[in-house]
């Protein structure tokens, strides 16, 4: 249920980390923009953790009432 959203968030984290690495190598890059990207990565990680928890609950804690036994 949440797997597609998790995959998109993981890709977003990867893209941001690539941008951050490129920005850290560039000495003329704005420090405030770098800080903003780091904050954005932390926010995405937080959201990602929430969706992973929801997916775990979906997989392990929910009862499937549509069981056709």
Any domain includes 14: yes
Any domain includes 69: no
CA 10 and chain centroid, separation:
4
Any domain includes 66: no
Domain that holds residue 30: 3-60
Q: pLDDT tens digits for 11-66? A: 999 999 999 999 999 888 898 999 999 999 999 999 999 999 999 999 998 776 77
Say how far apart CA 34 and CA 29 lie, in whole Å. 8
Any domain includes 43: yes
Assessment of whether the complete model's pTM goes beyond 0.85: no
Any domain includes 65: no
Say how far apart CA 4 and CA 36 lie, in whole Å. 26
Any domain includes 68: no
| Domains contained in the chain, number | 1
């Amino acid at each position: 249920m949440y797997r597609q959203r998790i995959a998109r968030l993981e890709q977003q984290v990867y893209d941001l980390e690539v941008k951050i690495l490129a920005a850290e190598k560039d000495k003329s890059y704005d420090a405030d923009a770098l800080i903003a990207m780091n904050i954005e990565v932390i926010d995405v990680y937080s959201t990602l953790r929430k969706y992973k928890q929801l997916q775990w609950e979906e997989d392990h804690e929910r009862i499937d009432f549509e069981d056709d036994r």
